[in-house]
Chain A
Amino acid sequence: MKVRIFITLKDGVLDPQGKAIHHALESLDFAGVNDVRAGKLIELEVDPSVDRDEIDRMCNKLLANTVIENYEIELPQAAREKAS
């Protein structure tokens, strides 16, 4: 199954890349953009036996640096139903 992990900078952590993207949008004359934050998306193709706790451990041990980043795990619909 495919698991998606969204990694974003924590609130309050300055995001120079987001700022640069914001400036670039403005210089292309796109108005009304108030802020930009850039993050990453990591897709894992995993066995159905891999549960959310295991993915949580992957995030904490490697995929995200929790000093500066938050992460959000998105399981496929079927896995979400099984878990609930």
Chain B
Amino acid sequence: MQSAVIVFPGSNCDRDMAVALETVSGQKPHMVWHGDSELPAGLDVIAIPGGFSYGDYLRSGAMASRSSIIKPVIEAAGRGVRILGVCNGFQILTETGLLPGALMRNRDIHFVCRDAELEVSNNATLFTSRYAKNAAISIPVAHHDGNFFADSDILDRLEDEDRVVFRYRSNINGSSRNIAGIINEAGNVLGMMPHPERAIDKKHGGTDGLALFESLLH
């Protein structure tokens, strides 16, 4: 599995993401700088990691989603390359328009940093096939702007099309309909606020994130 991790100024989960991808695939991901205007050839997976790209200036993910590497990322998404955006990566994907909605300030204003209990609402995706349907999993979250917002038409559509992939079992940040992760219409772009790459080793305190990366291999 050929993968790449996009690195922005202020990314801070890029190396964790690289470790997770290498752990399951045995292949080192390409680390791609935001200022590049081309991606390496033959990629199967592109990860947009967590962090605080550009210090969250203007809006979380706003500046990163206009950087030069994003154009080839959008083109790759159109060719069916799998794109995984975690935390700031999810914010960036909504800002590019690859995913609908927006991630707003958490309902209670506080930065939320804890393990989040999730439900795998759709295990028939390229990212979740190794989970059982409705599996209860525990994955760390760490964010200030994780409150998923979309208008009710978009929310209805996401639910009707089974595009809500992860839900919080209790609503920790005010997200509409407990949404923690969604997928695009074509099924190859996933955005999620929880950090699966922080739950792939017993030493992390849990390994519930591993199945997501294993799913990418199949």
Chain A residues within CB distance 8 Å of chain B: 13-14, 16-17, 19-20, 61-63, 65, 67-68
A65 pairs with B107, CB closer than 8 A: no
List B contacts of A67 (CB < 8 A).
94, 100-102, 149-150
Q: Quick one: which of B58, B109, B149 contacts A68, CB cutoff 8 A?
A: B149
The answer to whether the Cβ of B104 comes within 8 Å of any Cβ in the partner chain is yes
Q: Quick one: which of A20, A61, A63, A65 contacts B109, CB cutoff 8 A?
A: A20
Q: How far is the CB of B173 from chain A (nearest CB, A)?
A: 10
6 contacts between A and B (CB under 8 A): A14-B104, A20-B109, A62-B62, A63-B58, A65-B102, A67-B150
B104 pairs with A68, CB closer than 8 A: yes
> Who on chain B is nearest to A63 by CB?
B58
List B contacts of A63 (CB < 8 A).
58
The answer to whether the Cβ of B187 comes within 8 Å of any Cβ in the partner chain is no
B106 pairs with A13, CB closer than 8 A: no
Q: How far is the CB of A51 from chain B (nearest CB, A)?
A: 22
The answer to whether the Cβ of B59 comes within 8 Å of any Cβ in the partner chain is yes
Chain A's interface: helix, strand, loop or mixed, by majority?
helix
The answer to whether the Cβ of B198 comes within 8 Å of any Cβ in the partner chain is no
What interface size band does chain B fall in? 10 to 19
Q: How far is the CB of A21 from chain B (nearest CB, A)?
A: 10
B 97-130 to A, binary, CB cutoff 8 A, 1 in contact else 0:
0001110111111000000000000000000000
A17 pairs with B105, CB closer than 8 A: yes
Instruction: For chain B, residues 3 to 41, give those with C-beta under 8 angstroms from any C-beta of chain A.
Output: none
Complex Cα–Cα for A6 and B109 (A): 22
> Who on chain A is nearest to B105 by CB?
A16
List A contacts of B133 (CB < 8 A).
none
Given A67-B101, A67-B102, verify A13-B174 contact (CB < 8 Å).
no
Complex Cα–Cα for A51 and B149 (A): 32
Given A13-B104, A68-B102, verify A62-B58 contact (CB < 8 Å).
yes
6 shortest interchain CB distances as A-B pairs: A67-B102, A68-B102, A16-B105, A16-B109, A20-B109, A16-B107
> Who on chain B is nearest to A23 by CB?
B109
Q: How far is the CB of A84 from chain B (nearest CB, A)?
A: 31
Complex Cα–Cα for A61 and B66 (A): 9
